[in-house]
């Protein structure tokens, strides 16, 4: 009789543990994980989340934490390198994130693009030395770190090109005759002007976009849509100013 009671008690205890773990798991799964880009853009974007009601006070504090949670709002933030945001979202480490249109066009990650946040605005452009004249009879040397964007742009024009992939100081390439033109992000154009270069074509406008993991969007759609709508209100309000 004692053995049976012990067995029953143990079974009840196991059932309690399973329910407790299930409850904790479901609570954890209900969190929305957000990958934010490090730097000024990320700070600005977090301000939009904050204004939309999805804040996390510890993110403003001086600390070495990597992940910040607001249990009441069931939202979790973490900072990553801007070019890595789409990777975290695509692979499910983050449910949603904020990435530049340049990254989305260059790497074509398998994510949903939900909203143009209207911040971090600039453009992808072709630039060259002032007075540059393209000779269609010659292969055009193009220096860039956005090889896929450059290739697609010139493929549409059926232009024969030689892509020179660089990771930084792109503006040096035409100055040192490494390339004829460059394909790069242009904000104010001041750097180009100071180096006797000028934009000659705009490829596409760039701004920060809210993106979502495809699976997360299916299972957490309501919560993600709520966040999206809150951010959209911030975007619309800013556009009216």
What does the alpha-carbon distance between residue 99 and residue 168 come to, in Å, rounded to a whole number?
A: 20
Spell out the domain ranges in the chain: 31-121+207-240, 122-205
Distance from C-alpha of 150 to C-alpha of 210, rounded to nearest angstrom: 24
CATH of domain 31-121+207-240: 3.40.190.10
Provide the 8-state DSSP code for 110: S
CATH topology assigned to domain 122-205: D-Maltodextrin-Binding Protein; domain 2 (3.40.190)
Distance CA 43, CA 117 (A): 13
Question: What does the block give as tokens for 176?
Answer: 């040192």
Per-residue confidence (pLDDT) for residue 30, from 0 to 100? 87
pLDDT per residue of the chain (241 residues) written in tens, 0 to 9 = 555 555 555 554 455 445 544 444 434 468 999 999 999 999 999 999 999 999 998 898 878 889 999 999 999 999 999 999 999 999 999 999 999 999 999 999 999 999 999 999 999 999 999 999 999 999 999 999 999 999 999 999 999 999 999 999 999 999 999 999 999 999 999 999 999 999 999 999 999 999 999 999 999 999 999 999 999 998 998 877 6
DSSP string, 6-67: HHHHHHHHHHHHHHHHHHHHHHHHTSEEEEEESSHHHHHHHHHHHHTT---GGGGSS---SE
The answer to whether the beta carbons of residues 197 and 190 sit under 8 Å apart is no
Sheet holding 122-129, edge to edge: 161-165, 140-144, 181-186, 122-129, 197-206
* Of 124, 132, 134, 92, nearest in space to 110 by CA: 92
The confidence score (pLDDT) of residue 61 equals 85
pLDDT of residue 241: 66
Q: Supply the mean pLDDT for the chain.
A: 90
Q: Do domains 31-121+207-240 and 122-205 have the same CATH topology?
A: yes
Distance CA(76)–CA(96), nearest Å, equals 10
pLDDT at 237: 85
């Amino acid at each position: 009789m004692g053995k049976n009671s012990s067995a029953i008690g143990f079974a009840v205890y196991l059932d309690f543990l399973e329910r407790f773990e299930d409850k904790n798991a479901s609570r954890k799964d209900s969190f929305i994980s957000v990958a934010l880009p490090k730097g000024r853009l990320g700070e600005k974007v977090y301000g939009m989340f904050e204004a939309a009601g999805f804040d996390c006070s510890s993110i403003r504090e001086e600390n070495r934490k990597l992940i910040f949670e607001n249990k009441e709002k069931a939202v979790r933030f973490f900072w990553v390198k801007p070019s890595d945001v789409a990777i975290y979202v695509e692979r499910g480490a983050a449910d949603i994130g904020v990435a530049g249109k340049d990254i989305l066009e260059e790497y074509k990650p398998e994510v949903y693009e939900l909203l143009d946040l209207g911040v971090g605005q600039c453009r992808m452009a072709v630039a060259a030395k002032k007075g540059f004249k393209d000779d269609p009879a010659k292969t055009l040397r193009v220096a860039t770190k956005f090889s896929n964007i450059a290739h697609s742009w010139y493929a549409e024009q059926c232009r024969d090109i030689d892509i020179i992939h660089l990771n930084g100081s792109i503006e040096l390439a035409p100055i040192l005759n490494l390339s004829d033109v460059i394909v790069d992000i242009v904000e104010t154009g001041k750097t180009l002007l100071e180096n006797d270069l000028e934009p000659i074509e705009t490829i596409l406008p760039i701004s920060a976009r809210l993106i979502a993991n495809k699976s997360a969007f299916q299972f957490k759609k309501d919560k993600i849509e709520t966040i999206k709508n809150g951010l959209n209100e911030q975007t619309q309000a800013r556009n009216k100013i």
